[in-house]
Amino acid sequence: MSFEEYIAEQKAFSEKTFGPGYATHRIIDHIKRELIEIEAKPQDWREWIDIAMLAIDAAWRCGASPRQIVARFWEKLAINQRRLWPDWRTSDPDKAMEHIREVCTSNDDNVRRA
């Protein structure tokens, strides 16, 4: 099964089980609960998958098709690969690692240029 097929299956289940519509606040509440579970057991990869599933659920509820969701995953990876990142060995392991915004190796509009 492809990732696109998986998303279509998840969408069908979710819409039948949880109903149609955006459900933004419901999904955000659920993500917050999952984050608490991850803080308690950070090595439980199953909880991380739950967050990914919730993000995918939110994306199709905003109108994205399974194909568009998969394409966006690939697009975002390509953007991140073009960005300049600090050395992870010298970064604070308890803080989010941000790309270096002053330098850009792409034409991505989301990145400020030097």
Domain count, the chain: 1
The chain-wide mean pLDDT, for the chain, equals 91
**Would you state the structure tokens that stand for residue 39, as one six-digit string?**
């803080």
Domain assignment of residue 40, yes or no: yes
The answer to whether position 92 is within a domain reads: no
Please check whether residue 47 lies inside any domain of the structure.
yes
58 CB-near residues (< 8 Å, 6+ apart):
23, 24, 27
The per-residue pLDDT for 107 is: 56
Contacts of 9 (CB under 8 A, 6+ apart): 1
The pLDDT tens digits of the residues spanning 14-47 come to 999 999 999 999 999 999 999 999 999 999 999 9
Assigned domain for 109 exists: no
Amino acid 102: pLDDT: 73
Q: Is residue 84 part of a domain?
A: no
Whether 51 is covered by a domain: the verdict is yes
Q: Which pLDDT value is given to residue 103? A: 57
- Which residues of the chain, if any, have pLDDT below 70? 103-114
Is residue 94 one of the residues assigned to a domain? no
Q: Tell me whether residue 106 is in a domain.
A: no
Q: Is 7 exposed, middle or buried (0-12, 13-18, 19+ CB in 10 A)?
A: buried
Instruction: Specify the pLDDT at position 27.
Output: 97
Residue 60 is part of which domain span?
A: 3-66
Predicted TM-score (pTM) of the model is 0.82
